[in-house]
Amino acid sequence: MAKKKLTLAQKYHIYTRGLDWEPTYVSKKDIYPYAEYEGIKIKDWNKWEDPFRMTIEAYWKYQAEKDRRFYAILDGFIQNQGHLTLSDARYLNSIKLFIQGVTPLEYMAHRGFAFVARHLPGAGPRTAAFFQSMDELRHTQIEVHAGSNFNKYYDGFHSMTHMHDRVWYLSVPKSYFDDAVTAGPFEFVTAISFSFEYALTNLLFVPFMSGAAYNGDTPTMTFGFSAQSDESRHMTLGLQVVKFLLEQHEDNVPIIQQWIDKWWWRGYRLTSLVGAMMDYMLPKRVMSWKESFELYVEDQIIEGLFRDLERYGIRPPLHMEQSIKEKEFLSHDVYWILFSFTFAAAFHSWIPTEAEMEWLAEKYPRTFNQYYRWRYEKAKEAKTPLPGDRFYYIGLPQLCQVCQIPMGFTDPDDPNNFVQRYTEYEGEIYHFCSDGCKWIFEREPEKFVQAWLPVHEIYKGNCFAEPPKGPDDVVPQVLRWYNIQTDNFDYFVSEDYKNWKEWHKDMATVLI
């Protein structure tokens, strides 16, 4: 008679706890040196269980299947000249932002979770963190492979890691993850698995990827949904770790609450880039930033998740109300910033078409026509010496010391003003885009005074390929240092647009 198969629960137990052991000649403190300094108290690591009950054999089996499906779709897309069937080449500017800004974060997440997988004393969460570390490396790979096909035909895909360490808008995602990986293991897991992956990645990997599908980009849709299916496991890890820590000791509650307060706002500011991508860069749109925020944050996170956490003494993040107030402003503010500084960016921007402005006005009836439409009307009339026959902001912006986004966020309570906050620390003044970022700075000033701010570094002379020959040579030398070549300026004067028109010249219907 054949041996009875192990149940899922038995297998999970054997492959995690069963493979762990008690050290005999080295103290646990020496093995896990980072387990205590954050102040987290754990009584019993065995209380932790992974609801996914993922084991290593199941991991290989299903992840391999996910990858096979992705590469089959990518191959089909490439063989079929799929890039020519996209809705419009403008779409790819959102994917440039993705590959430059998000993909390097996947790699940093791989490193961060490898650290956690080494340093958490419990076998269960260590196993889950190990799987997550492998997931993140795999996400980096499939995203690079999806992007490398577009790199053959379009600008902006050629230099992602080089740019990630240098270019001004990419310091926003870079600084976010640098902040996370320099925290302790418990703060890192709370920041990434819980605050980012449970509360925010849905906005990036679900409605935006649905937008990729709608615009004909099947490889991006496939890596996005595939990645988010791993995120489901990561969300579970984040939620279980947080609940576990809250149940283990009451002293953990205020520590976790502060991390949730900090990392909600950090992650939310980072995700604002997705707002601009969804509302302005997708030629065919699925839902607005505001709609996806209402569905994935207000319903699922505030009404769902945080009501579930009430019993542990956890309340919604400190600055959540501000995020809700900003939902009708955020994407417009961020796209306007990206639009204004496109002369120094590795993507193109454009004035929304009349039909697109109608869509924006319909989705944002209280803000778009009132506060934003006029800017694009003016931008059409303004002339600068730069290519594109429209407005650019020729100058360098004040950056927020914490999120590093230029300080152009509208005050929802006074929409004709931008929010400007500052604080003094050891005789220096530091500027912030919001109360959230100011609060984060004041909690850990010794950390955030060290921020590498791209604008400051340009002024300090640290960002030139060669010393500028005069004032007109400053920006060109910065762009050379960034490795930005023909990747910048308005879409309608770009190589991308020229090529797109050429490739479609024989079509009966003219695409813009």
Residues near another protein, by CB under 8 A? 7-9, 47-49, 51-54, 58, 61-62, 65-66, 69, 202, 205-207, 209-214, 221, 225, 228-229, 231-233, 235-236, 239-240, 243-244, 247, 286-287, 294, 298-300, 302-305, 307-308, 321, 324-325, 328, 366, 412-413, 415
Residue 295 CB, shortest distance to another protein, in Å, is: 8
DSSP 218-243: HHHHHHHHHHHHHHHHHHHHHHHHHH
Give the three-class secondary structure for 421: strand
Nearer to another protein, 198 or 491 (CB): 198
Residue 7 CB, shortest distance to another protein, in Å, is: 6
Taking the C-alpha atoms of residue 501 and residue 512, their distance in angstroms, rounded to an integer, is: 8
Nearer to another protein, 87 or 483 (CB): 87
C-alpha distances (whole Å) from 404 to each of 160, 234, 304, 385, 394 are 19, 27, 31, 28, 19
Tokens, residue 29 = 């403190």
Nearer to another protein, 52 or 176 (CB): 52
List 421's β-bridge partners, or say none: 432
C-alpha distances (whole Å) from 328 to each of 272, 324, 331, 484 are 12, 8, 8, 32
Nearer to another protein, 9 or 84 (CB): 9
Residue 98 CB, shortest distance to another protein, in Å, is: 16
Residue 69 CB, shortest distance to another protein, in Å, is: 8
Taking the C-alpha atoms of residue 324 and residue 290, their distance in angstroms, rounded to an integer, is: 9
Nearer to another protein, 231 or 487 (CB): 231
Nearer to another protein, 202 or 342 (CB): 202
Nearer to another protein, 298 or 473 (CB): 298
Taking the C-alpha atoms of residue 180 and residue 174, their distance in angstroms, rounded to an integer, is: 10
Residue 392 CB, shortest distance to another protein, in Å, is: 29
Torsions phi, psi of 490, nearest 5? -65, 145
Residue 371 CB, shortest distance to another protein, in Å, is: 11
Nearer to another protein, 286 or 360 (CB): 286
Residue 212 CB, shortest distance to another protein, in Å, is: 8
Residue 411 CB, shortest distance to another protein, in Å, is: 8
Taking the C-alpha atoms of residue 417 and residue 419, their distance in angstroms, rounded to an integer, is: 7
Taking the C-alpha atoms of residue 119 and residue 121, their distance in angstroms, rounded to an integer, is: 6
Are the C-beta atoms of residues 275 and 195 closer than 8 Å to each other?
A: no
Half-sphere exposure of 325 (CA within 13 A, CB side): 12
Give CA 222 to chain center in angstroms: 18
